[in-house]
Amino acid sequence: MKRVLSIQSHVVFGCAGNSAAVFPMRRMGLEVWPVNTVQFSNHTQYSAGWQGMVMPNGHIRQLMAGLADIGVLGQCDAILSGYLGSAEQGEEILAAVAHLKALNPNARYFCDPVMGHPDKGCMVAPGVADFLKNRALACADLLAPNLLELEQLTGREICNLSEALAACQQLREGGVELVMVKHLGRAGLSLDRFEMLLVCEEGAFHISRPLYEFQRQPIGVGDLLSATMLANLLAGFTPVAAFERTNASVDAVLAQTWLAGAYELQLVAAQQAMVEPEIRTCARRLPA
């Protein structure tokens, strides 16, 4: 059994951060060790606001020391990081990655670089975006930015698929093994499909799924995408097969959420289709 340290936000109600990632990864056969960077009552895009706290500096370091003390840290196969409550937490995560790789050189670091989206109400603490660009990027083996994050990480304006591909290649040249762009948005080929891009050693691949007309777009889809992709990779699927399965799994969850007329992702209701996805769309190889 593969084991993952999932270090990201947690909400008591709903699905975001670890609340969107831990259950799917466990249902897909992983042993997941969740570490929360923040604990909020609900995600931050509710109009009534939220309650909760950012975990204090030193919290992650203490938990990693405890895992090392009982001799289990080296059994971990990957660290997945997401929303950070502070740049200092990011440094603690990088220290955990370095410690883990010293114990298990085959372990991978999957970075979901949550850099904030003010227009959608997603905010990050000062210094987090700079930390992700200037510190985390150099340590990441696997990376899952959205289009805005891809632009910030590479310093490029990206308006089409070719420019997105060039940005991913830039990250690959910098040492990242695999880049999955979770949402191409305006850089995609069609406005009526949700499109993603994968760039890895095998080449570059494009895939899409239906767009659903939600009254309010569900939150946590990116967290679900990263978690599902990592779970498929650790299950032994090739990057392209993992990409196709991830696309299908998330589509199943969103279809169920849309049918239910829900705002929060319907992970429990869609769990079987999520774990055993029906591949309706294959990834298309892009020209080199």
Residue 195 annotated as binding site? no
Q: How is the chain classified by DSSP, letter by letter?
A: --EEEEEEEEESSS-SBHHHHHHHHHHTT-EEEEEEEEEESS-TTSTT---EEEPPTTHHHHHHHHHHHTT-GGG--EEEE---S-HHHHHHHHHHHHHHHHH-TT-EEEE-----BGGGTB---TTHHHHIIIIIGGG-SEE---HHHHHHHHT----SHHHHHHHHHHHHHTT-SEEEES--GGGSS-TTEEEEEEEETTEEEEEEEE----SSPPS-HHHHHHHHHHHHHHTT--HHHHHHHHHHHHHHHHHHHHHTT-SS--TTTTHHHHHS----S--EEPP-
The answer to whether 223 is a known ligand-binding residue is yes
Q: Is 213 annotated as a binding residue?
A: no
44 is in an annotated binding site: yes
**Residue 130 annotated in ligand binding:** no
> Residues annotated as binding site for substrate?
9, 44-45, 223
Residues in the annotated binding site: 9, 44-45, 112, 144, 149, 182, 223
Annotated binding site for ATP: 112, 144, 149, 182
